[in-house]
Amino acid sequence: MNRLENKVAIITGASRGMGEAHAREFIAQGAKVILADIKVDLGQALADELGDNALFIKLDITKPEDWKNAVEIGEKTFGNINVLVNNAGILGPVAGVMDLKYEDYLKVIEINQHSILLGMQAVIPSMLKAGVGSIINVSSIAGIVACFGFPNVAYMASKFAIRGMTKGAAFEYGPKNIRVNSMHPGFVLTPMMIEATDEDASKEGRSALDEIPLGRISETSELTGIVVFLASDEASFITGQEHIVDGGMTIH
């Protein structure tokens, strides 16, 4: 069964990591997907591999004109956009409150938080034309609790903000049949996580494995299931909610 048949999706940060995993599964489930990223070579190679239902578009998520271009090209190629996965983001410098430079704070907020607004503003008109829409804003468990191993007020601020933006948009556009949910991963084996720590999420002698009841780091594919679900009609009565996928890390 193609769970995403007749869905046209934009997935940001689609060239690698979680975005790539989502794009692959969306295509497998029958969707047409605009792969949006600033990494042109990786993104185009993935689109070529995935075939006619995939289209790569270079998109800097901090630029409104790039969002406008992506939606216009996506509509011309596949039709109205009815799914957005706001996946792209950065960790930024791992720094405590007194060590964080203001310009670094602003950069994290621009990429992780402001881009969520720009993405929603860009796709909602297309979703209104389609008469239906699902927006999945990727936050983090760092948007739920103080995240182990990362004293980073900028990252946490941006990820907490996504929760509020998601709920506000869900409340506003629910009557228009547009659902908006947030997804909150724990530690996931992605290039960004490895760059920040290592393959078992260790840092300075402490390991996240000690904090995760399931005792392991998740694979990107384990995040994709909830994203596919939220994009599909199976989640037609779910909006404005946080969906935590963290191996139980936030139980305590």
Residue pLDDT, tens place only, 163-174: 999 999 999 999
| CATH 3.40.50.720, applies to 8-186+220-245 | yes
What pLDDT, on the 0 to 100 scale, is given for residue 202?
Answer: 47
Q: State yes or no: is 102 an active-site residue.
A: no
Cβ neighbors of 3 (< 8 A, separation 6 or more) are 29, 30, 228, 232, 234
How far apart are the C-alpha atoms of 143 and 112, rounded to whole Å? Answer: 12
Single-letter code of the amino acid located at 44: Q
Single-letter code of the amino acid located at 229: F
What average pLDDT score do residues 95-108 get?
A: 94
How far apart are the C-alpha atoms of 173 and 158, rounded to whole Å? Answer: 22
In angstroms, the Cα distances linking 147 to 91, 108, 142, 193 are 12, 16, 5, 13
What pLDDT, on the 0 to 100 scale, is given for residue 60?
Answer: 98
Which runs of consecutive H residues, i.e. helices, occur in the chain?
A: 17-28, 40-50, 64-78, 102-108, 115-130, 153-173, 191-196, 221-231
Cβ neighbors of 142 (< 8 A, separation 6 or more) are 150, 152, 155, 156, 159, 160
Question: DSSP secondary-structure letter at 114?
Answer: I
How far apart are the C-alpha atoms of 251 and 217, rounded to whole Å? Answer: 16
Q: What H or E segment, with its residue span, contains residue 83? A: strand 83-86
How far apart are the C-alpha atoms of 241 and 67, rounded to whole Å? Answer: 25
In tens, the pLDDT along 14-33 reads 999 999 999 999 999 999 99
Catalytic residue among 102, 105, 155, 173: 155
What pLDDT, on the 0 to 100 scale, is given for residue 251?
Answer: 86
Spans of all domains in the chain: 8-186+220-245
In tens, the pLDDT along 103-144 reads 999 999 999 999 999 999 999 999 999 999 999 999 999 999
